[in-house]
Amino acid sequence: MAKKSSKSKGASAKAAEEHEVAETVQKTGDASNSEEIDKAFEEAMKDGAGESAKSGSGDEDGDEDVEIDVSAAIQASGGHLDLDKVTVKDIPGVGPSIAKKLAESGFSSIRAIATLPPKMLMQESGIGEKTADKIIKAAQEICKMEFVTADVVFEKRKNLGKIVTGSNALNEILGGGIETGAITELVGEFRTGKTQIAHQCCINVQLPVDQGGLSGKALYVDTEGTFRPERLAKMAMAKGMDVKEALKNVIYARAYNSEHQINILRQARKLIETQNVKLIVVDSLISHFRSEYFGLGALGPRQQLLNMHIHQIQQLCDTYMVAAIVTNQVQAKPDIFFGNPTIPAGGNIVAHGSTYRVFMRKGKGETRVAKIIDAPGLPEAEAVFKITEKGIEDAET
Ligand code: GTP
Ligand code: MG
């Protein structure tokens, strides 16, 4: 408790500075400056970041010369490629060594490759840049991902999955629940219920669709050591689920530093493809980044790395239609005299990176108030819920 207070209070002066500089970094070097992001990423990956980073810098095995003939692939299939079944091996020109590298790093689906930036494919699989570029272009061609009309998007959005939170009021302001294909950011002071909602969704995602779940598993990336299987057990019990089974469906990884966190997310790809993972939780998104990249000079690299990390999560959401919940802390607003004196940490990078942003604060007793502060197509609404022995529930039941 004491530790928590100092965490949020003591940081206020620094946070004000941080915020300003974060904004400057944003204005001058956001996504447009992807070279810098790559550089920062490569730097961070240099020391012991895993095999793929080390082997990702060259085309030692001569795979540069891959000739990818997409039209031949489409023709060979009679023009009816089933994208769920097509793998990289089916692309003419992708030799066995590249196919092996891709498969080993979790890229069995062609959709996953089509939505990756070449650098990321390089880093994650260890293939060379030119090859990565060619393969991605071929995958994009096969997936024909350029333009679609609004009715197609409409149909696609109708099929988006939602995970209920446990509170009908909260589900309602979220447009039904935690959405797949998107990042939902829970932001608020300590003990406002961010971790509790994340735990509850790890249970609820396992429910069948008609009960508000996705019949899937959850992957929980814990950066603060606040993951509690006992709490999951209580929540599962309250729903009458087989507790042992419910716990088996939550895959846990403790991230010890920001680099480790990024690497876990890289490995997540394989898990998502093979384990029916439908929810990724990162609790908390930025605590490691904040503590490791300390002081004004470190803000640029920190924001760049954070940007890369958020894109990494978003790419997984887009490709596999999984939902992501990330939690975030608040920091003091530098120039506020009236109203709410705190703002979400992480500056514009996090603000732009998350699809839905939910601001949480304490209400009376065990109640909490959640407010949608930034969401495409949703009004700025508030919901009251409570945290009980059973988990997340409506305030009035
Ligand atoms: P930080 O991670 O510190 O920023 O906070 P947070 O927003 O993640 O808070 P968290 O979700 O951990 O919420 C903590 C609150 O949940 C506590 O203050 C309790 O009120 C409530 N809570 C946690 N576990 C239980 C439980 O087993 N039973 C009940 N009734 N409430 C619980
Ligand atoms: Mg927490």
Between 50 and 202, where is the model more confident? 202
Per the structure block, which two tokens stand in for 233? 């057990």
Atom of ligand 1 nearest to the CA of 360: 7
Per-chain mean pLDDT for the chain: 80
Name the CATH superfamily housing domain 43-142.
Answer: 5' to 3' exonuclease, C-terminal subdomain (1.10.150.20)
Q: What ligand 1 atom has the least distance to the C-alpha of 188?
A: 7
Q: Which residue has the higher pLDDT, 318 or 143?
A: 318
Task: Tell me the average pLDDT across 331-340.
Answer: 71
pLDDT bucket at 192, cuts 50 / 70 / 90: very high
Distance CA 270, CA 267 (A): 6
Looking at residue 61, its pLDDT comes to: 45
Neighbours of 1 (CB within 10 A): 6
pLDDT above 90: residue 152: no
- Output the pLDDT for position 101: 85
* pLDDT band per the 50, 70, 90 thresholds, residue 321: very high
| Best probe residue, ligand 1, of 6, 195, 197 (max atoms within 8 Å of C-beta) | 195
CA dihedral in degrees (209, 143, 316, 161; nearest 10)?
Answer: -20
Which residue has a Cα nearest atom 10 of ligand 1? 193
Summarised one tens digit per residue, pLDDT across range 86-119 is 777 776 667 788 888 888 887 877 878 888 888 8
Structure tokens at 318: 């887009």
Cα–ligand 1 centroid distance for 370 (angstroms): 14
pLDDT of amino acid 100: 85
Output the residue whose Cα is nearest ligand 1's atom 25: 389
Q: Where are the beta strands (DSSP E) in 156-308?
A: 162-163, 178-179, 183-188, 217-222, 250-254, 277-283
Residue 1 has pLDDT above 90, yes or no: no
Report the C-alpha gap between 231 and 387 in whole angstroms: 12
What is the average pLDDT across 76-86? 61
User: Which pLDDT band, with edges at 50, 70 and 90, does 203 fall under?
Assistant: very high
Q: Which residue has the higher pLDDT, 385 or 117?
A: 385
Residue whose Cα lies nearest atom 31 of ligand 1: it is: 388
35 pLDDT tier (thresholds 50, 70, 90): low
Q: Which atom of ligand 1 is nearest to the CA of 388?
A: 30
Q: pLDDT tens, 38-74?
A: 454 445 444 333 333 333 334 444 455 555 566 665 5
**Between these two residues, 145 and 60, which has the higher pLDDT value?**
145
C-alpha 61/C-alpha 121 separation (Å) is 17
Q: Per mean pLDDT, which range of 24-38, 62-76, 176-190, 251-265 is the poorest?
A: 24-38
Looking at residue 93, its pLDDT comes to 67
Which residue lies with its CA nearest to atom 21 of ligand 1?
Answer: 387
Task: Find out whether 323 and 163 touch, Cβ atoms under 8 Å.
Answer: yes
Q: What is the pLDDT of residue 71?
A: 64
pLDDT higher for 35 or 132?
A: 132
Give the mutation target among 185, 192, 196 for probing the ligand 1 site: most ligand atoms within 8 A of CB: 196
Band (8; pLDDT cuts 50, 70, 90):
very low
Tell me which of 8 and 202 has the higher pLDDT. 202
pLDDT at 158 over 60: yes
Whole-number percent of the chain with pLDDT over 90 = 46
In this prediction the pTM is 0.76
Please tell me the CATH code under which domain 155-394 is placed.
3.40.50.300
Calpha distance 372→360 (Å, rounded): 9
Structure token digits, residue 41? 């990423």
d(CA 177, CA 46): 39
Please give the distance, rounded to the nearest whole angstrom, from the Cα atom of residue 391 to the centre of ligand 1.
10
Do 155-394 and 43-142 have the same topology in CATH?
Answer: no
E strand segments, 245-309: 250-254, 277-283
The structural domains of the chain, with segments of one domain joined by +, span 43-142, 155-394
* pLDDT exceeds cutoff 70 at 75: no
* pLDDT level of residue 149 (50, 70, 90 thresholds): confident
Nearest to 357, CA basis, from 393, 381, 336: 381
pLDDT of res. 109 = 76
For residue 189, give the ligand 1 atom closest to its CA.
4
Return the higher-pLDDT residue of 223 and 158: 223
| Ligand 1 first shell, C-beta below 6 A | 4, 188, 190-196, 226, 231, 366, 387-389
Provide the pLDDT for residue 145: 63
Average pLDDT on 299-316 reads: 91
Predicted confidence (pLDDT) at residue 80 exceeds the cutoff of 90: no
Q: What one-letter code names the amino acid at 269?
A: R
